[in-house]
Amino acid sequence: MKKSVVGLLVMLMILLAACSTSTETPTEAPAVETPAESGSIVDSREHTPDPLLTNKTWMWERRDPNGNQVPEIIVPNPENYTLFFNDDGTFNATIDCNSGNGRYATTPPGSIFMELGPTTQAACPDGSLSGDMINMFGPAQNYRFEEDNTVLVFVWVAGGPVDYYRTTDAQAGGDTTESIVASREHTPDPLLTNKTWMWERRDPNGNPVPEIVIPDPENYTLFFNEDGTFNAKIDCNNGSGAYATNPPGGIFMELGPMTMAACPDGSASSDMINMFGPAQDYRFEEDNTVLVFVWVAGGPIDYYRNASVDLPEPAEDVPTGTVTAPDGIFLRTGPGTDYPYVGVAAEGDSGEIIGVSTDGQWWLVAAPNLPGGQVWASAEFVSTTGTEAVPVVAAPPQQLGLIGIAWEWVVTSNPTGDQEVNDPSRYVILFKDDSTANIKADCNNVQATYTALAGNINIETGPSTMVACPAGSLADTFLSQLNSASIYFIEGGNLYLDLPADSGTMRFVPQGTPPPSPDAPAGGGDGSTFYLTSFGPQGAQQAVLAGTQITANFSGTQLSGSAGCNNYSATLTPVDTYFTVSNIITTRMVCSEPAGVMEQEQAYLTALAGVDGYVWTQQGGSAIATGQLFYTLADGTTGVMNFTTSP
């Protein structure tokens, strides 16, 4: 359905609404505090790092009701409930069987405000205090130290409960690590590492959870590196983390930074995320081709299969190649390591050679069971027979890659708004194939080194020309964000660098890309905030749940707002007389009230992904008063979202 434009779309700037509370609220209700215009209370506060607070692991020991009608809590396992405050205003949290992070601000003397960001979503066992710990974030507004600064005391707002945390490094030089993985000895397992494992199914193992059979295992993968890190593909998202294996069969995994795209209906992404943390044992089956994770305390069992490509046995009289590498080799979509890999072939596997690359360094192998019917293998690790007359095959077109392109920084999107770059040509990074990068940071040239592997990236800036740039320069911000980047991905011709602790995503375009047309359907305006009033199938729209608010802000080719619980951002792409919505990224809060808020949020995000038309109605000949977005779902259902500029 394509709708014509009835008025000028008047929208600019991103204004994200704060999420509603994710668990039960404490008996003593926190005082209402007005957030900054950015939407975050943390951003409205000046932050001064406190050396007595930061770079230590604090373990929750108990909660004193302090005269309030809440139960006293004595934590039996404080090591499972920890906080670690970084100097930069971010913190890491262990919340029983889950890990999370967030942002905070401390202002002397003894004032603090914390906002919990994304967490893993494992179902902790009965008796867990995870919900009680989560209740602390937000209300706590004052803190102090006791017992020679080894005990951290949080005092909730308005004389609420008091929480006591004890540091794990009570003596100078003590353990300051915030990671359970870091406390465990790690011995790499050659049967586990350097292989791609695809999730196939989950066995409830007698627990009250549903059985899961994955229809597309290639979208749910794990790759364990020998150094104790892993890379994960979690449906439409990429992530990384740390793990430790202690033979025989002991493992602990902590999920770290990941992209936050809203995956489509039916995704098993949250189910896969639930695995990190609880899994404590593993074993191999079917000649070590199947990896089995057993959750703690006899929980569910997950099965992952080695992503080996089953090459058909070649006939006797055809050109043949045999893998000689002891650990196997990656098979790729093109002749080069910068092409994506589709699986692995084990030592001794053979296949029919049907071509060779123009430089003679890669063999083209028949793989009729794969899309395209062929794969490329490095000639360095393949012995061949009868290949003298195979044809030379040109490399297939390559998708845009990280290396060799001058990327211009155009915007950084985060839960509090967009940081637009007025002149992207002054903020450029060029990644080179020798693991170095050249950076133009406004009036300075900067050298850098980087590592990039399976969607993870680490950039370290080095020597700079050190010129004093004019007032208003974003040079320092640009370099700081590059140094913080942890994940990269390329979609729609854009490079995205994700920053840690849900602090934003940098977006780049190839140098010379023209700016969006001002006549695009989502083009220029005054930055009005639109509020969703109802949505659903045409003729049967449902009002937004009472107590929730869903917003949409349009700025050029960017869309952002609150989906009722989580903040989101997305990309708008003009198509003829309408636009599409893609690359939807959200925070990962879980809200329990009002009932149905999470289902409403998912329905809204799904509808956004299916937008195929719009109508805006002007008021008084200029300002837009109401609007409609039309959408079509994957099953063919059509619907409409009704917006107004009045909350």
**Weakest-pLDDT range from 50-64, 119-133, 149-163, 321-335:** 119-133
Position 179 scores a pLDDT of 60
Mean pLDDT (whole number) for 27-47: 50
Position 175 scores a pLDDT of 36
> Among residues 496, 512, 580, which one has the least CA distance to residue 261?
496
d(CA 129, CA 77): 10
d(CA 17, CA 134): 20
Does residue 368 surpass a pLDDT of 70? yes
Count how many residues are written for the chain: 647
Q: Are 331 and 377 in contact (CB under 8 A)?
A: yes
Position 148 scores a pLDDT of 86
Does residue 121 surpass a pLDDT of 60? yes
Position 556 scores a pLDDT of 67
d(CA 182, CA 568): 32
d(CA 452, CA 359): 25
Mean pLDDT (whole number) for 338-346: 74
**Weakest-pLDDT range from 221-230, 337-346, 511-520:** 511-520
Does residue 380 surpass a pLDDT of 80? yes
Mean pLDDT (whole number) for 426-444: 90
**Weakest-pLDDT range from 145-149, 200-204, 248-252, 316-320:** 248-252
CB atoms within 10 A of CB 66: 15
- φ and ψ at 273, to 5 degrees? -60, -35
d(CA 613, CA 9): 13
Tokens found for residue 74: 């004595």
Q: Are 495 and 402 in contact (CB under 8 A)?
A: yes
Q: Are 300 and 205 in contact (CB under 8 A)?
A: yes
Domains along the chain with CATH numbers: 42-179 (2.40.128.270), 196-306 (2.40.128.270), 406-510 (2.40.128.270), 530-644 (2.40.128.270)
Task: Convert the pLDDT of each residue in 247-290 to its tens digit.
Answer: 678 888 888 777 766 777 888 888 898 888 766 789 999 878 89
Does residue 33 surpass a pLDDT of 50? no
3-state SS string for 492-530:
CCEEEEECCCCCCEEEEEECCCCCCCCCCCCCCCCCCCE
Position 62 scores a pLDDT of 92
Mean pLDDT (whole number) for 425-444: 90
Task: Convert the pLDDT of each residue in 525-535 to its tens digit.
Answer: 335 678 899 99
User: Of 274 and 431, which is predicted with more confidence?
Assistant: 431
> Among residues 607, 599, 598, which one has the least CA distance to residue 21?
598
**Weakest-pLDDT range from 169-183, 212-226, 540-554:** 169-183
Read off the DSSP letter of residue 313.
P
**Weakest-pLDDT range from 267-276, 571-580, 618-627, 632-641:** 618-627
Does residue 539 surpass a pLDDT of 60? yes
Q: Residue for token digits 């038309």? A: 613
Q: What is the pTM of this model?
A: 0.38
pLDDT band of 61, cuts 50, 70, 90: very high
Tokens found for residue 368: 């009729």
Measured in whole angstroms, the distance separating CA 349 from the mean position of its chain's CA atoms is 36
Does residue 429 surpass a pLDDT of 80? yes
Read off the DSSP letter of residue 193.
B
pLDDT band of 609, cuts 50, 70, 90: confident
Q: Measure the CA dihedral 594/595/599/605, to 10°.
A: -10
pLDDT band of 169, cuts 50, 70, 90: low
d(CA 610, CA 603): 11
Does residue 19 surpass a pLDDT of 60? no
- φ and ψ at 80, to 5 degrees? -95, 0
Position 476 scores a pLDDT of 92
CB atoms within 10 A of CB 380: 10
CB atoms within 10 A of CB 305: 17
- φ and ψ at 254, to 5 degrees? -120, 120
Distances in Å between the Cα of 338 and the Cα atoms of 230, 233, 334, 457 are 20, 18, 8, 15
Tokens found for residue 69: 């009608």
Does residue 339 surpass a pLDDT of 80? no
**Weakest-pLDDT range from 334-348, 383-397, 401-415:** 334-348
Does residue 621 surpass a pLDDT of 80? no
Position 409 scores a pLDDT of 94
Does residue 167 surpass a pLDDT of 80? yes
d(CA 529, CA 606): 20
User: Of 84 and 396, which is predicted with more confidence?
Assistant: 84
Read off the DSSP letter of residue 204.
-
User: Of 483 and 2, which is predicted with more confidence?
Assistant: 483
Tokens found for residue 238: 């990429």
**Weakest-pLDDT range from 33-42, 372-381, 405-414, 602-611:** 33-42
CB atoms within 10 A of CB 401: 13
Half-sphere exposure at residue 477, Cβ-oriented, CA atoms within 13 angstroms: 16
Position 479 scores a pLDDT of 94
Task: Convert the pLDDT of each residue in 283-295 to its tens digit.
Answer: 999 878 899 998 8
3-state SS string for 411-452:
EEEECCEEEECCCHHHEEEEECCCCEEEEEECCEEEEEEEEE
Q: Are 376 and 364 in contact (CB under 8 A)?
A: yes
Distances in Å between the Cα of 547 and the Cα atoms of 19, 20, 291, 349, 481 are 12, 9, 45, 60, 36
Distances in Å between the Cα of 609 and the Cα atoms of 265, 580, 592, 633 are 11, 7, 24, 8
d(CA 602, CA 610): 13
User: Of 139 and 216, which is predicted with more confidence?
Assistant: 216
Q: Are 531 and 643 in contact (CB under 8 A)?
A: yes
Does residue 2 surpass a pLDDT of 90? no
Mean pLDDT (whole number) for 456-476: 89
Read off the DSSP letter of residue 381.
G
What per-residue string of b and e applies to 312-346 under the rule 16 or more CB within 10 Å gives b? eebeeeebbbbbebeebbbbbbbbbeebebbbbbb
Rg (CA), the chain: 27
d(CA 232, CA 555): 32
Position 178 scores a pLDDT of 46
557 class by beta-carbon count within 10 Å (0-12 exposed, 13-18 middle, 19+ buried): buried
Does residue 180 surpass a pLDDT of 90? no
Read off the DSSP letter of residue 392.
B
Position 417 scores a pLDDT of 74
Does residue 338 surpass a pLDDT of 70? no
- The answer for residues whose C-beta is within 8 angstroms of residue 306's C-beta and 6 or more apart is 195, 196, 197, 198, 288, 289, 290, 291, 344
Peptide bond into 35 cis (omega under 30): no
Mean pLDDT (whole number) for 539-553: 87
- The answer for residues whose C-beta is within 8 angstroms of residue 91's C-beta and 6 or more apart is 83, 84, 85, 101, 102, 103, 104, 114, 501
Position 296 scores a pLDDT of 74
What mean pLDDT is reported for the chain? 79
Task: Convert the pLDDT of each residue in 491-516 to its tens digit.
Answer: 766 888 988 766 788 999 887 665 55
Q: Residue for token digits 């893998």? A: 323
Tokens found for residue 286: 């079917």
